[in-house]
Amino acid sequence: MIRRKLLTVIGARPQFVKASAVSRALAADGTFEEVIVHTGQHFDANMSQVFFDELAIPAPRHHLEIHSLPHGAMTGRMLERIEEVLLQEKPDVVLVYGDTNSTLAGALAARKLHLTVAHVEAGLRSHNLRMPEEVNRILTDRVSDLLCCPTAAAMANLSAEGFDRLPCRVRRTGDVMEDSALHYGRLAGERSTVLDRLGLRGRPFSLCTLHRAENTDDPARLASIVAALHEIGRDAPVVLPLHPRTRAALQRQGVPLGLTVVDPLGYLDMLALLQATRVVLTDSGGLQKEAYFFKKPCVTLRDETEWVELVEGGFNWLAGAEAGPIVAAWRAAAQARLDFSAPLYGGGTAAAAVVRALGELG
């Protein structure tokens, strides 16, 4: 059997997690030879190499090392370099994930060369065009040939936007992040020592991540969120793995931190913290879902979310950036008794569904 070539473009830590599940399924299926391109968008060892090591993702054949640039410059540089790789590799399909600059650059470069584009995590909408992620996902969806949707809401979004009338395939596959969370969650308990390193084993704590530009680049929002975290921390520790952008913003704005601050963590350490935490507070899209996978209530530090089913189901509190509502939401979440049994995201079968959908492409 002649194997077809699939080129995967990744660059940010959530994409490494998603790609690990699909890469395993691709290897088991055998239809495609996978070539991985790492744009370098996340380049710090704690945000990149540790994920490849822990998740056993095949080593990138191409590492573009593009990072630390404004959005336009970064996307443009990626577009130029990915085009060079595509001309060299001549893949049958180009696969992109999520909503980063790497996603958009990979999709645009492939489309300009008339290559088939597949988008995993298609159809998500926050309806906030001030978010660069929203712009990236909308444009990527529009130029994709295969749109793999994680949820019913994502399918409905594409239908409302007229994708039923476009020359593309739309499939509800489920969420590949759940595949990875379930697979590696079991390993985290065996391998991670983070609870002992931080002195948290057996102690109640909250887990927080904070990195969205809408929060880090707005001094008032950032200060208000940190004030809320300090208030919450009076009850029990708040653990904050600190994104480099957030660390720089805090230093630039002179915002003091009286929290348990750690450097960015590997995936297994994050899963260990997730499984032990009391409540998750985050502005990350991925962590909102991972909280659900591990049956944890989540307070979202944004004004909207693309994961509307979590809010509608009562698993996620949209708290914005005001200190009072954040603290009130945390208190409600900490006391909530929730039923997490609904299989909102596919139950761990999404990667196989994505590979089946890729096999349908001509």
**Residue positions annotated with a catalytic role:** 211
Calpha distance 289→309 (Å, rounded): 10
Calpha distance 9→80 (Å, rounded): 14
Calpha distance 164→149 (Å, rounded): 14
Contact 243, 209 (CB under 8 A): yes
Contact 153, 345 (CB under 8 A): no
DSSP state of 187: H
Calpha distance 146→26 (Å, rounded): 16
Mention every residue, 6+ apart, whose C-beta is less than 8 A from residue 51. Answer: 13, 16, 17, 20, 57, 266, 267
Q: Residue for token digits 């909207």? A: 304
Q: Is 351 exposed, middle or buried (0-12, 13-18, 19+ CB in 10 A)?
A: buried
CA dist 101 → 1, 110, 282 (Å) = 35, 14, 21
DSSP state of 70: -
Q: Is 101 exposed, middle or buried (0-12, 13-18, 19+ CB in 10 A)?
A: buried
How many CB atoms sit inside 10 A of residue 75's CB? 23
Which three-class secondary structure state does DSSP give residue 203?
Answer: coil
DSSP 130-182: TSHHHHHHHHHHHT-SEEEESSHHHHHHHHHTTGGGSSSEEEE---HHHHHHH
H or E element, residue 208: strand 206-209
